[in-house]
A = this chain, B = another copy of it.
Amino acid sequence: MLQVDPLQGLLPGRSERYEKHLADLAGLYRDAGAFEAALAADGGDPVYWVESSTPETGRGALTIGLSVLQPGRIGDEFAMTRGHLHAQSEFAELYYGIAGEGVMLLESVSGESRALPISAGVVVHVPGGWVHRSVNVGDDKLVTLFAYATEAGQDYGIIERAGGMAQLVVTDGNGGWTTRPNPDHGGYRA
C-alpha cells in the first residue's frame, strides 16, 4: 500500500526515485538564450522528479508512480518532461491528475498530435504507439499518478533524434496556453 502525498509530491513506500535538474535538460527547449539565462539563475533544485514502485518484474508486472513537475517557462515554452515512447511501443499508459494544471502532449509516430488538459480527477489514457510528455501550464506543481507495464520500458532517444516533439506547448500571451509547430521537428524514426 502506498499513500500519495500530493502537496509534497511524494509517494512514501516507493522503490525508485529519479530527479531531473535544469542542467540535465540542455536542448529540450527551443530558446537557447532563455535556457542559458534560466540556468545561470538556477538554484539547483530538481525541476521534476518521478517516484515509483516496482514490486515485481516480468510479464504482467506494473510500475505505479507519481510524476511531479515544477511550474515555469523557458522562452514561450512551459516547463515539461523529456517525454518518451515505450521501448515496447505497443504498451499503453495511464495518467491520472492529482494536483495542478497540465497538458499531456501525445504524438503518434505517424504524425498525429493531441494536447489533452489534465488536472485533478482527469484520466488520460496514452495508447500504444504514442510519444508522450507532461507539460505544466499552471502556477503550482503538476502531480500525476501513472501506471504502465514494467516490461514496456522507455525510449527517450526518439524525441531527441526527431529534433523535439512536433508541437510545442507555449503561452498564448493571455495567461493561457496554446500549441505551435516545432520548426526543428524532423519526424519520428524508430
- Interface positions of A (Cβ within 8 A of B): 1-4, 6, 11, 53, 55-56, 58-62, 64, 86, 88, 90-94, 96, 116-118, 121-125, 127-128, 145, 147, 149, 152
For A1, list chain B residues within 8 Å (CB): 116-118, 122-125
Q: How many copies does the complex hold?
A: 2
Chain B residue at smallest Cβ distance from A149: B149
For A122, list chain B residues within 8 Å (CB): 1-4
Min CB–CB distance A98 → chain B (angstroms)? 8
The answer to whether B96 touches A55 (Cβ under 8 A) is no
Chain B residue at smallest Cβ distance from A62: B92
Q: Which of A2, A55, A61, A125 has the most CB of B within 10 A?
A: A125
The answer to whether A55 touches B2 (Cβ under 8 A) is no
